[in-house]
Chains A and B, each alone.
Chain A
Amino acid sequence: MIAFTLNDQTIQYDGDPNTPLLWVIRDRAGLTGTKYGCGISQCGACTVHVNGMTKRSCVTPVSGIADQHVTTVEGVEGKEAEAIQIAWIEKDVPQCGYCQSGQVMSAVALLKQKPNPSDEDIDNAMAGNICRCATYQRIRQAIHSAARQMEDSE
């Protein structure tokens, strides 16, 4: 039995311990905000936070996150998350929306580490998140905008 915290909920998982966290979140916990896009850590659609750090849940065996704190798009909060959400609305970022949970989770984690990221920081942090609608320019602008918001509110 593997126990971990998913947002505010305790999850007990007694299935195959090799099961990637993604499928426990989606099929077991029923939270479908975290998406499947590639299964091999190449597209970032499945990005979640484990103890605040980004993880590709599609290649993270659930056994590896026992007793840890997993945050998905449904539960992400804090000043970075709020700033990102506001900036996402301001820039009207999403197109189809499928990759956006992963984009948001990567962007929030970036701002936690670097409250005022450069374009290069953004390239590096977001390189692993593919968007086939190609909302990249708006994502970049929204991250900059969120950074400014955070600065202004301090």
Chain B
Amino acid sequence: MSKYSAQRRHFLKQMGVGTGLTLGVSLLPKATFAATNQTQTAHLAPNVFVAITEDGTLEVTCHRSEMGQQIRTAITQIIADELDADWQRVKTLQADGDKKYGDQNTDGSRSIRRNLARLQMAGATAALLLKQAAAKGWNVEPDSCQCKNHQVIHTASGRSADFSQLVSVAATLPMPEEGLVKPKARKDWRYVGKGIRSIDMEAVQAGTTIFGQDITIDDMLYAVIQRPPVMFTQPDSVDDKKARSMKGVKDVITLPTASAPANFFPLGGVAVLADNTWTAMQGVKALNITWTENDHSKYDSQSEKQILKETARKAGEVVRQRGDIKQALNSAHKTVEATYYAPLLAQAPMEPPAAAARVDGDSAEVWTSTQNPQAAQALVAEILKIPVENVTIHVTLLGGGFGRKSKPDFAAEAAWLAQKAGRPVKVVWRREDDIQHGFYHTVSAQHIRAALDENGNAIAWHHNTVFPTISSTFSTEANSPSSGELRLGFIDNPFDIPNIQLEKGQAKNHVRIGWLRSVANVYHAYAIHTFADELAYAAGKDSKAYLQQLIGKPRHIDLAKEGAEYDNYGDPLETYPIDTGRLRAVLDKATEMARWDDREKEKRHLGVAAHRSFLSYVATVVEVVVDDNGSWRIPNAYICIDAGTIVNSEHVKAQCEGGAIFGLSCAIGEISATDGAINQTNFHNYQVARMQHAPENIEVHIVDSDAAPGGVGEPPTPPFAPALANALFAATGKRIQELPIPLTLKA
């Protein structure tokens, strides 16, 4: 145990706020970061990402939430690289929620694609100041100096100085003009692009990582909340006598009930506050609550499924049109159609949501595992009716997020209860709370109809998508898919088919709808690629060859020409075109890795899908073995990703592995509802992938690319389910048009 105590101290220091030792070398051009105000010296513009202490330690501040994607490591790599720092002398701090960092909402696979360039600038600015400081002392040109392993060196004269020797002078220099700051050339990268190990490894091994669930504050009470079983219902009667009589129970408090639209507000319910977690959990069990009913109390996901499927088969609102679908369908040699259904899902991060809060007058301090600290800050301020600048959000490590922790409702619960109780409170969500009161990945139904000519070529594609929208969480008016969801693998369909018509249909929400890793890409890729495989079989062609043909020749797709509203994940099409050449390339590579063309000879059952999402391209081949009882396993999966420029090759690989298996979980899991309440409660009845379900072997290939960085956390998820469904068809002849896929297929 003792061998870890030093590491433990180190990590606690790492996770804490900057110490008094920080000199605060300031290092960012004002033009790049307008909202910075952390300066400790009047004449320097402050730097929110980089600091160098007196002893030369490079302190990197990670402003994105760490939830397993290893962003703390990646950001450290980027900054350390620009300074050519000694990895042993770099320390990573975790930023609080603060708009001075710019966007901190860690979702949408944006951390690298939106921050690589600005963090390189941040690091390069620091490097330049150190060079200028050294050059001043040596009376040489800064350009003739370079950073080399935590020193500035002047090769011509053989002089060198450690960063620690330069900090005090560098801190007095004016901020360099933006044009003078030049990030390193790609060929000179020392850390970026390499498979550097997680900086949090030692802490994980020592058990010293601190997540929201792990926070303790002096004098804190532990709260567990019984939330309304049906969205927006409230307690009709609360009998808390038994709970209050329990030793250790300090209070029972009813929270305000949320009403539509849900936004990020806490749902309400009844909280039991106790002096430890277990007593709070027991106290909640002892409550006797009756709940009101409302329209959602009639929600039955089984009957709603039929309604969604019927809607999908009817004409919807056209959102993209190419050619003339009617004419093509009428002149078809053959038409094929299918309806696909995918159920609600819960993100179920391993760490259920948790937050601890201390409220003092009109100030609040919250420690929480949030993906979105600035939203947490705003919500806590709103709930407590205090100024937003008086709310401090400390971001702990996140035990997984997957979109659940983008919603800061749990931070607001803790803050509200702390204010009411007059004592710090930690709100602990039980797994049951997480499964039953979430912001769910939406249920969906899709109908696709295609026309084939006499050679089996697809000449028409008619696709209607129907699902309760995430927008319903924010507006009571929203009753059909938003453009923000349609852009996720639906409206950007890359297929080279002369006639395409895409439609959307209306659907009502009865639970809170939220984001889940890859969001609408999950069900859109599932339907599109399962159907593409159906077409290949209908045409009597090889699935890979048919998909290659559907993708067509290398080109950039212009959706605007076809009346489609498309924002390309918020990034410009010039930088990030919809490039069918890159999609085709990952497909070719993944199928080559899988020895696709030998599969019949080798009696292996494979399925394939290739999907662009979050500006990256991923192709996945899944191999299945199905035994006589219909139970199946996945010996191999092959993944090729083109994410443009990457920062950490090992962690991109890890995201591909994990993202793929997350896709597997999406294919085998189901959340359902009866009488408006979620049927599942915990991991015994909400199926997620375990060791024995996961592919025994996953091979990942990363395309070597200097294109602009795309997303990595989400893109590996969408192609997995259709590749699996197609492999199961290859093995059994059974089409999977409805999720979840049972672990044992019926004979």
- B-chain residues with CB within 8 Å of residue A45 when the two chains form the complex: 350
A19 within 8 A of B: yes
Q: How far is the CA of A26 from the CA of B210 in the complex (A)?
A: 12
Q: Does B1 contact A (CB under 8 A)?
A: yes
A60 within 8 A of B: no
> Which residue of chain A has the shortest Cβ distance to B276 in the bound complex?
A27
Q: What B residues does A129 contact at CB under 8 A?
A: 690-691
Decide if B398 is an interface residue (CB 8 Å cutoff).
Answer: yes
- Interface size of A as a range: 35 or more
A-contacting residues, B113-170, CB 8 Å: none
Quote the shortest CB–CB distance from A133 to chain B (angstroms).
Answer: 4
A104 at the interface (CB under 8 A from B): yes
A35-B399, A135-B658 known; A92+B1 contact, CB < 8 A: no
Q: Is the CB of B1 within 8 A of A96?
A: no
Which residue from B214, B650, B691, B695 sits with its C-beta under 8 Å from A32? B214
Report the minimal beta-carbon distance from A106 to chain B, rounded to whole angstroms: 10
- CB pair B696 A28 closer than 8 Å: no
Which chain B residues lie closer than 8 Å to A98 at the CB level? 209, 211, 349-351, 397, 399-400
B691 and A127: CB pair below 8 A?
Answer: yes
* Bound form: Cα–Cα A104–B1 in Å: 15
**Contacts A74-B1, A133-B68, A137-B697 hold; do A97 and B277 have CB atoms under 8 A apart?**
no
Taking a contact as CB atoms closer than 8 A, the residue among B70, B213, B662, B692 that contacts A132 in the complex is B662
Report how far A83 CA is from B201 CA in the complex, Å.
Answer: 15
Contact partner of B68 among A27, A85, A96, CB < 8 A? A96
A-binding segment of B319-327, B471-479, B681-689: B681-689
Q: Which residues of chain B from 651 to 701 have a CB within 8 Å of any chain A CB?
A: 651, 654, 657-662, 664-665, 682-684, 688-692, 694-698
Q: Given the complex of chains A and B, what is the CA–CA distance between A16 and B684 in angstroms?
A: 27
A95–B68 CB distance below 8 A: yes
Contact call B399/A96, Cβ cutoff below 8 A: yes
Instruction: Tell me the bound Cα distance from A20 to B691 in angstroms.
Output: 26
Q: Which of A7, A75, A94, A96 contacts B351 (CB 8 A)?
A: A96
Does A8 touch B at the CB level, under 8 Å?
yes
Q: Which of A94-153 contact B (CB under 8 A)?
A: 94-101, 104, 119, 122-123, 126-127, 129-140
Interface stretch (choices B192-200, B412-420, B462-470) = B192-200
Could you list 27 A-B pairs, sorted by A, with CB under 8 Å?
A15-B248, A16-B248, A16-B279, A23-B277, A27-B277, A32-B214, A35-B399, A37-B683, A38-B683, A40-B684, A42-B684, A94-B200, A95-B654, A96-B66, A96-B68, A96-B399, A119-B696, A122-B691, A132-B662, A132-B688, A133-B350, A133-B400, A133-B658, A133-B662, A134-B664, A136-B689, A139-B691
Where the two chains meet, the residues of B that have a C-beta atom closer than 8 Å to any C-beta of A are 1, 4, 66-70, 195, 197-198, 200-201, 203-211, 213-214, 216, 222, 247-248, 276-279, 281, 348-352, 397-402, 428, 430-432, 650-651, 654, 657-662, 664-665, 682-684, 688-692, 694-698
A residues adjacent to B (C-beta < 8 A): 7-8, 15-16, 19-20, 23, 26-28, 30-40, 42-43, 45, 72-75, 77, 85, 88-89, 92, 94-101, 104, 119, 122-123, 126-127, 129-140
